[in-house]
A and B are shown apart, each in its own frame.
Chain A
Amino acid sequence: MIPELGHFALILALVLSLVQAVVPLVGAQRNSMALMAVGRPAAQGQFFFIVFSYVCLTWAFIQSDFSVQLAASNSHSATPIMYKITGVWGNHEGSLLLWAMSLSLWTVAVTVFSRHLPDAFLARVLGVLGMVSAGFISFTLVTSNPFERLLPAVAEGRDLNPLLQDPGMIIHPPLLYMGYVGFSVAFAFAIAALMSGRLDAAWARWSRPWTTIAWVFLTAGIAVGSGWAYYELGWGGWWFWDPVENASFMPWLLGTALIHSLAVTEKRGAFRSWTVLLAIGAFSLSLLGTFLVRSGVITSVHAFATDPKRGLYILALLVIVIGASLLLYAMRASKLTGGGSFAFVSRETALLGNNVLLTVASASVLLGTLYPLFLDALNLGKISVGPPYFEAVFVPLMTPVVVLMMFGPFLRWKDDDLVAAVRKVAPAFVASVLIGFGSAWAVDHVTWRTVLGLTLAAWVVLASVQLLAGRFKERAGASVGARLRSITAAWWGMWLAHLGVGVFIIGVTMVGSLDQHLDVKMKEGQHAELAGYTFVFRGAVDADGPNYDAARGIIELRRGERLLDTLTPEKRVYRAQGMPMTEASLDIGVFRDVYVSLGEQLADGAWIVSLYYKPFISWIWLGCVLMGLGGVFAAADRRYRRLAAREAAAAGQRVAASA
């Protein structure tokens, strides 16, 4: 009964999304307040029904109702409750429902926090969001109904894929989806602005916080996903450049460009058509990512879960949403020229340069991801494009980005003197090159990548310090507190996020050039040495869990005589699917991780053990945290709230005056 209720609620949500897609748009066109006002309750009602539907599905999982096909294939009565709940989105149908739910959540957030927007504009935004929502809910209902019954019910479920039974997987998909889907708001704002022809600084100001928050979610989602891969896949890698990862990384790159482009549009009125294009592009790449992952066109051609009908449906959705918005862009963009002019040497140019580089980087990821498909389609052979390609493209593209990223803030808007600006940053730049060579020298084997990475990281850190000091000096004479207060949250956000990039580069460079790895055969009592640590194997014991059997290795981590930690990597076999899994064990530190995983047991009772030494790897995620935090600061700037209040008051006066 409950699954049917959920199914029915989802149908109601579809009806409401259609209402939301049509009525407010008609209202905006005819200037009818009554019709425009329908958008808000429709969006909120839709949210209610989707959440209700989602809860019903979760209920089937918690209750182990194996008459529901999805629960039967992705849950098990012995699965811990947490993974029963997360099992809901650990599959195609459920993750689509999660997609629709996050879209609905964003829409409701718009109705709540954007009361101050002009009615017609808000109506158009809601209409666009309603269309996207209708597309996705109907996709779910038509091709991937999560409430499909399995009659007669099976006695026991197949359990959630063991790889997904991990704390990281509890938060990764929701964060990622909130990010992905969050770009729909920036997209809807851009389309609404194109429709009304009102693409001005106000539009950029309205969409900035939304874009930034979506970007924060996406950053966090990607970071958590990579952290999960690092400790769950059992061999210490943190980024694999596989299509699923690329699908989230492409919108991130374009989203980063969009945030910066919006800043220019708001402050200087420039880049308007470029900003619109980026807003369309970021969301398009989110949709494309969904297509690539969900249609099975790339990742899993032989996975039986995929269904060609689904691929076709979502491709049609892609064509309608992206095609229509690009057509609208082509019709209206010619009116968008002009805006604030700027000289060649100016902050605008620096931002534009990085924008272009980020877009090119995004395109190169897209190309690398789709290239095997192209060749296969043209019957030119089967290939794989692995990390070497992406690294070969990324390092040269990102190097100027990082240099410009720290140089830009030293430049004035509109026009600046190149010689003076270069003179300002020259000491920091020279110092970073020296630091780069110097610290690369200190390590055993110097590679140009280590030198480059450390130089860039030093440049980011030194330039950040100089920026902060400069900002501090602006109000010489005032108290420290007053000086700190005079710096806006938005500025702190920029500063933190850029510093985060530097920290990230340190992590990537160090782990890329200094990590050590050793596979050894170990018997009880034997020991091995790696990177100055001693690993003593104390044998393996049985360690069965609720839904798996496991052997747990006991390995002492020693430095000299001192016992630092006892590591307990496991080899598990999940009963329901008979699937083996490697569970690594880590000793996490600020400057290094020690990472141990268990291979197979040999006939003579010895185990193959993999030992890893990963210097500075946590800095990768520390950098992501700083970037995310920067985004939060930027979005929380008081300016937005003040402006919102002022605009709301102005709107109130207009209403009062017209009454």
Chain B
Amino acid sequence: MKAKFLVPLLLFFGLVGFLAFGLTLDPREVPSPLIDKPAPQFSLARLDQPAQSFSLKEMQGQVWMLNVWASWCVACRQEHPLLVQMAKQKIVPVVGLNYKEVRGDGAINARGMALEAETAMAIERARRWLTDHGDPYVLSVLDIDGRVGIDFGVYGVPETFLIDQNGRIRYKHIGPITPEALKDVLIPKIEELRRAS
């Protein structure tokens, strides 16, 4: 075996090293800057009773999840059956953050729309979607302009935050929750947090 014929193989392994490294750059592996920090405070109107608002304090003392969704979100439909199933099995309480229901939808031109009209439209659309697909949420809140989403560092929908008894974000799942992610990551983490208290 002559050394020079090994050159292509060595070059290839160098490349593989980089590619493997590239794979680890996957955004899901990068922890959110909010991990283990107190969740940003907010107070938003409830979808079921828009006159009432919801804030983080109400979930104090329990492990829960905040799931960011919208009716225009394609991937939400993919994870939704799983959320419904989780709700049936009472795995963990999930609060829905309905994110930019109207202005996030590329098909609607929300520019110039009055906030009242936009809110009414958002409520109507979001409620219909939950009626059609099932409502797995303890309750949902309306983030009409996406401010709360920005505070949480949401850059796509769906995203899910796992929050502990003290209101700290302990885990962030980007993209639709898959059965594997639920079984291998979320449920163990939930149990761990519950034991810790």
Do A's and B's CB atoms come within 8 Å in the complex? yes
Known: A158-B77, A308-B26, A315-B23. A326 touches B8 (CB 8 A): yes
- A233 at the B interface (CB under 8 A): no
- A48 at the B interface (CB under 8 A): no
| Residues of the A chain whose Cβ atoms lie less than 8 Å from the Cβ of B2 | 333-334
User: Which residue of B18, B81, B174 is within 8 Å of A304 (Cβ)?
Assistant: B174
Mark interface residues in B52-82 (1 if CB within 8 Å of A CB, else 0).
0000000000000000000010110110010
Mark interface residues in B1-43 (1 if CB within 8 Å of A CB, else 0).
1100110110011011011111101111100000000000000
| Residues of the B chain whose Cβ atoms lie less than 8 Å from the Cβ of A334 | 1-2, 5
User: For residue A327, which residue of chain B has the nearest CB?
Assistant: B9
- B107 at the A interface (CB under 8 A): yes
Q: Are A311's CB and B23's CB within 8 A?
A: yes
- A486 at the B interface (CB under 8 A): no
User: For residue A151, which residue of chain B has the nearest CB?
Assistant: B81
- B156 at the A interface (CB under 8 A): yes
- A323 at the B interface (CB under 8 A): yes
Taken together as a complex, chains A and B put the C-alpha atoms of A202 and B15 apart, in Å, by 34
Taken together as a complex, chains A and B put the C-alpha atoms of A326 and B21 apart, in Å, by 22
Q: Are B77's CB and A154's CB within 8 A?
A: yes
| Residues of the B chain whose Cβ atoms lie less than 8 Å from the Cβ of A377 | 18, 21-22, 25
Q: Are A73's CB and B74's CB within 8 A?
A: yes
Q: Are B13's CB and A150's CB within 8 A?
A: no
Known: A73-B74, A73-B78. A319 touches B16 (CB 8 A): yes
Q: Are A374's CB and B155's CB within 8 A?
A: no
Taken together as a complex, chains A and B put the C-alpha atoms of A330 and B1 apart, in Å, by 6
- A277 at the B interface (CB under 8 A): yes
Taken together as a complex, chains A and B put the C-alpha atoms of A239 and B54 apart, in Å, by 52
Q: Quick one: which of B74-121 are within 8 Å of A by CB?
A: 74-75, 77-78, 81, 105-108
Q: Are B22's CB and A304's CB within 8 A?
A: no
User: For residue A304, which residue of chain B has the nearest CB?
Assistant: B175
User: Which residue of A308, A311, A578 is within 8 Å of B107 (Cβ)?
Assistant: A578
- A376 at the B interface (CB under 8 A): yes
Q: Are B9's CB and A297's CB within 8 A?
A: no
- A160 at the B interface (CB under 8 A): no
Q: Are B1's CB and A331's CB within 8 A?
A: yes
Q: Are B5's CB and A322's CB within 8 A?
A: no
- A539 at the B interface (CB under 8 A): no
User: Which residue of B16, B26, B28 is within 8 Å of A315 (Cβ)?
Assistant: B16
- B167 at the A interface (CB under 8 A): no
Taken together as a complex, chains A and B put the C-alpha atoms of A296 and B22 apart, in Å, by 10
Q: Are A297's CB and B19's CB within 8 A?
A: yes
- A273 at the B interface (CB under 8 A): yes
The minimal Cβ–Cβ distance linking B120 to chain A, given in whole angstroms, is 20
Taken together as a complex, chains A and B put the C-alpha atoms of A281 and B72 apart, in Å, by 44
Q: Are A308's CB and B28's CB within 8 A?
A: yes
Taken together as a complex, chains A and B put the C-alpha atoms of A21 and B194 apart, in Å, by 50
Known: A152-B81, A295-B23. A302 touches B5 (CB 8 A): no
**27 A-B contacts (beta carbon < 8 Å):** A73-B74, A150-B81, A152-B81, A155-B132, A277-B8, A280-B8, A295-B23, A296-B26, A297-B22, A304-B174, A315-B16, A318-B16, A322-B12, A323-B9, A323-B16, A327-B9, A329-B8, A330-B8, A330-B9, A333-B2, A376-B25, A377-B22, A377-B25, A573-B107, A578-B72, A578-B107, A578-B108
Question: Chain A interface (Cβ within 8 Å of chain B)?
Answer: 69, 73, 150-152, 154-155, 158, 273, 277, 280-281, 284, 291, 295-298, 301-302, 304, 306, 308, 311-312, 315, 318-319, 322-323, 326-327, 329-331, 333-334, 370, 373-374, 376-377, 573, 575, 577-580
**8 cross-chain pairs, A with B, having the tightest CB-CB distances, nearest first:** A578-B107, A304-B175, A326-B9, A333-B5, A330-B5, A297-B22, A311-B23, A334-B2
